[in-house]
Structure 1
Amino acid sequence: ALIAELPTWLNFLSYIDNVLYKLVQVIMFAILLLIIGFLLVQFGAILGSPFYGQLSEQLEKIRTGTFPETPPSLLSSLKDIWRAILFELKKIGLLLVIGLPMLLINFLPGGSLIATIGGIILTTSIVCLDFFDGFLERRKLRFREKLTVVRRSLPASATFGLICQALITIPIVNFLGIPLCVAAGTLFCCDRVLPNLLPDHQA
């Protein structure tokens, strides 16, 4: 309404307003796709964990020729379930500890850019943890050690995480993207992470 009342020589502001409106729509749509893809990974990884676990195991056997096997037992199965629950809880904790401050920063002047960059870094780290976890969990690494693996693998891990995020945000493609990222994450760890692991964490 205010733009409609502007003098004729300021009509260009209406075009700028339209461009900015469209730009905001595109950004919001991209953020929505990113959130949907991120949630899909979290729930998809849980629902498809038996299949993804087997996929990761077989790829590691083919790639390295070795495999860190543990004797199957009820106790070891219960421990694995407990570790998986703790892993998910710690990821949620990481999201809350870092994500909430980023959300608050977003309301400060100029904070949107910082919050956006911080959010991308956070989600990229979580995505790397998810797709590296099959390999890393077989070595019984602690959560901090897994984060250290992601950090020490930079910038390759950041590139990997961003590509995975792109795959999981594309509708329909994201259903195929999750197993593809699991496979890629396993191969990434076999080639880049395994040579640098401590001897007691190797196969």
Structure 2
Amino acid sequence: MFNGNFFHGLGYLGEGFRLIRQPGLRLFVIIPLLINILLFAGMAYFLAMMFSSLVDMAMGWLPDWAWLQSLDWLFWLLYGAVILLMLAYGFVIVANLIGAPFYGYLAELTEKHLTGQEPSVDGGWAQIVRDIPRALWREVQKILYYLPRALGLFIIGLIPVVNLVAAVLWFIFNSWMMALQYVDYPADNNRVSFPELKRQLAQQRLSALGFGLPVALAAMVPLLNLFVVPAAVCGATAYWVRESRLPVKK
């Protein structure tokens, strides 16, 4: 159940940040980055408006015991952590739904770079347009996998005291989803189905969580989260290439 190397997985995001600086990959980093800036600003504003109402509602459920009411700062902290985690992956879901065709092509160019091929962008825009239906369907599959599990964790997170466990579960779940989300791009390019990808990642679960952990953390940091998406695509492609035992350019 917990095979793989957690610490080995940790290094792939850093490699992704190095890869996005490669000349042949930069164009397909800049365009999604501009989309992410507008998207994150809108989502942050919306969740900020909801945050205070959510905490007030939860405090209203508590018995009128002085010692419980005095813990309102703790519930603010815990609900803040849950909302931050929701924003992190919620942002990733919407950003990837919009930018999926770009990220699929970025993963393809990255794989060519890592395997010693020339990452040519000739005909890239036409390929991006052709891949839109398939890329969107893959994103829909990931959303359908995510939503029922996220809903269950969200309900747990609304229960005072029990939300201590929910925050930890959210973090582990987000780390798994980040790995699943981004390794899906090179997997899709290699015609590996989404169910098969889940099976392969589960066989190396610790490596997958090691990759997803820093992505989940970076996704919660303002400004850094705007750059983490393309870096995670490149890092996930390196993960795919190496864990699939493909030849890698030194």
Mark yes or no: TM-score above 0.5. Answer: yes
Q: Determine the structure 2 residue equivalent to 1:64.
A: 115
> What does 1:10-25 align with in structure 2 at a 5 Å threshold?
20-25=71-76
Indicate how the Cα distance of structure 1 residues 41 and 99 shifts in structure 2: closer, same or farther if over 3 A, else same: closer
Q: Determine the structure 2 residue equivalent to 1:174.
A: 225
For residues 159 and 86 of structure 1, the distance between their equivalents in structure 2, rounded to whole angstroms, comes to 27
Indicate how the Cα distance of structure 1 residues 90 and 183 shifts in structure 2: closer, same or farther if over 3 A, else same: same
- Runs of 4+ residues over 6 Å off in structure 1: 76-79, 107-110
Summarize deviations over 1:153-177 as a string: whole Å, max 9, x none: 2211102112101111111110011
AA matched with 2:200 = V
Indicate how the Cα distance of structure 1 residues 87 and 111 shifts in structure 2: closer, same or farther if over 3 A, else same: farther
The answer on 1:151 being equivalent to 2:226 is no
Q: Which has the higher contact order (CA 8 A, sep 6+)?
A: 2
For residues 97 and 144 of structure 2, the distance between their equivalents in structure 1, rounded to whole angstroms, comes to 18
Give secondary structure in 1 for the equivalent of 2:191. coil
Aligned 8 A contact 2:180 2:198 in 1: yes
> What 5-or-longer segments of structure 2 have no aligned partner?
1-63
Indicate how the Cα distance of structure 1 residues 178 and 162 shifts in structure 2: closer, same or farther if over 3 A, else same: same
Q: 2:82 aligns with which of 31, 37, 52?
A: 31
Larger Rg belongs to? 1
TM-score, length basis structure 2: 0.58
For residues 136 and 164 of structure 1, the distance between their equivalents in structure 2, rounded to whole angstroms, comes to 18
Alignment coverage as a number of residue pairs: 176
Aligned 8 A contact 1:33 1:170 in 2: no
User: Per-residue deviation at 1:122?
Assistant: 3.2
Cα RMSD (Å) of the superposition?
3.3
The answer on 1:91 being equivalent to 2:142 is yes
For residues 79 and 176 of structure 1, the distance between their equivalents in structure 2, rounded to whole angstroms, comes to 26
Question: Sequence identity, in percent?
Answer: 24
Q: Determine the structure 2 residue equivalent to 1:133.
A: 184
For residues 55 and 82 of structure 1, the distance between their equivalents in structure 2, rounded to whole angstroms, comes to 17
Indicate how the Cα distance of structure 1 residues 177 and 106 shifts in structure 2: closer, same or farther if over 3 A, else same: closer
For residues 129 and 103 of structure 2, the distance between their equivalents in structure 1, rounded to whole angstroms, comes to 19
AA matched with 2:183 = F
Summarize deviations over 1:24-73 as a string: whole Å, max 9, x none: 22222222222112122112223333443333222211212369xxxx9x
